[in-house]
Amino acid sequence: MTAVAESPAVGEVTALTVTLKILRTNPEGTADHAAGESYWEEFQVEAHATDRVLDALHKVKWDQDGSLSFRRSCAHGVCGSDAMRINGRNRLACKTLLKDLNPARPITVEPIKGLPVEKDLIVDMEPFFASYREIMPFLMTTGTAPERERLQSPEDRARFDDTTKCIMCAACTTSCPVFWTDGQYFGPQAIVGAHRFIFDSRDEGQWDRLEILNDKAGVWKCRTAFNCTEACPRGIEVTKAISEVKKALTSGDV
């Protein structure tokens, strides 16, 4: 027999009752709501202060209403499935702890903004991934590849380290006021994706990518609102990355 560590393991954590106020949409309609109509619904769950918002959502789904729909997978902030708007801010439900949210008040949970809502907290991610594909997010090189690895100094590797962390959760793009109102804008994530290659010393496609980002749907739409940087659950300095791309375009130098 194996000793089983009970959650929570560290110290004593207080149990509490939290109220989740969730913006719901059912594409097929319910007894009380028309197909596609959005409405708020409140749920009370028993939880621990150290529980994630995702745990609370699971308690609703598993114990109260199995029709509540949201995406999730890894549950620790690396797969990017569960970006949602929690108390008005874009975050990952699996990386947001109840104790950090003032559980005395209802916690509002909405789908991320600017992408079509499919059902409850699930949005259509296709426009987001389409923007990413636009910026040619793959290493482009010319000539014959060397037999061993391409060399890259630790300093050159460090130049694009920050933007390699992106998990494509869309928290940044769907926090951007320009993205909400301008259907053409690539959004911050695609620029982050481009930055990761533009500043990689091994890549030779930077000018092709910069040309795409110089387009009317590109970096010049950014109004440096900094929402994206605040929203990024990976701590990427998104606005800084966008500024570096803008600078490369104006100086003609990466």
Stretch of residues binding another protein (CB under 8 A), selected from 83-91, 164-172, 183-191, 208-216: 164-172
Instruction: Quote the tokens at residue 247.
Output: 């600078």
Residue 164 within binding range of another protein, rule CB under 8 A? yes
* CA atoms within a 13 Å half-sphere pointing along the CA-CB vector of 128: 23
Asked if 143 contacts 204 with a C-beta cutoff of 8 angstroms, the reply is no
C-beta of 48 vs 246, nearer to another protein: 48
Contact set for another protein, span 111-150 (CB under 8 A): 118-120, 122, 125, 129, 132-133, 136-139, 145, 148-150
Q: Pick left, alpha or beta for residue 253 (phi over 0 → left; psi -120 to 50 → alpha; otherwise beta).
A: beta
Residue 46 within binding range of another protein, rule CB under 8 A? no
C-beta of 222 vs 229, nearer to another protein: 229
Residue 81 within binding range of another protein, rule CB under 8 A? yes
Q: Which of 24, 80, 213, 242 binds another protein (CB under 8 A)?
A: 80
Q: Which of 3, 15, 34, 104 binds another protein (CB under 8 A)?
A: 3
Q: Give the per-residue contact string, 201-240, with another protein (x = CB under 8 A; - = no).
A: -xx-------------------------------------
Residue 62 within binding range of another protein, rule CB under 8 A? yes
Residue 89 within binding range of another protein, rule CB under 8 A? no
User: Residue-wise over 201-220: b if at least 16 C-beta within 10 A, else e?
Assistant: eebebbeebbebbbeebbbe
Instruction: Quote the tokens at residue 173.
Output: 């793009």
| Number of residues located near another protein, criterion CB under 8 A | 70
Q: Give the amino acid at 25.
A: T
Q: How far is the CB of 202 from another protein (least distance, A)?
A: 7
3-class SS at 117? strand
C-beta of 164 vs 243, nearer to another protein: 164
The single residue listed with the structure tokens 């600017």 is 114
Torsion of CA 179, 199, 76, 10, to 10 degrees: -120
- The residues that bridge with 123 in the sheet, in sequence order, are 117
Task: Give the separation between CA 107 and CA 84, rounded to whole angstroms.
Answer: 12
Give the list of residues 6+ apart from residue 181 with CB closer than 8 angstroms, or none. Answer: none
Q: How far is the CB of 189 from another protein (least distance, A)?
A: 11
Q: Are strands 122-123 and 117-119 parallel, antiparallel or unpaired?
A: antiparallel
Stretch of residues binding another protein (CB under 8 A), selected from 14-22, 38-46, 179-187, 196-204: 196-204
Q: State the residues that interact with another protein by CB under 8 A.
A: 1-12, 26-28, 50, 61-63, 65-67, 69-81, 95, 97, 118-120, 122, 125, 129, 132-133, 136-139, 145, 148-154, 156-157, 160-161, 164-168, 197, 200, 202-203
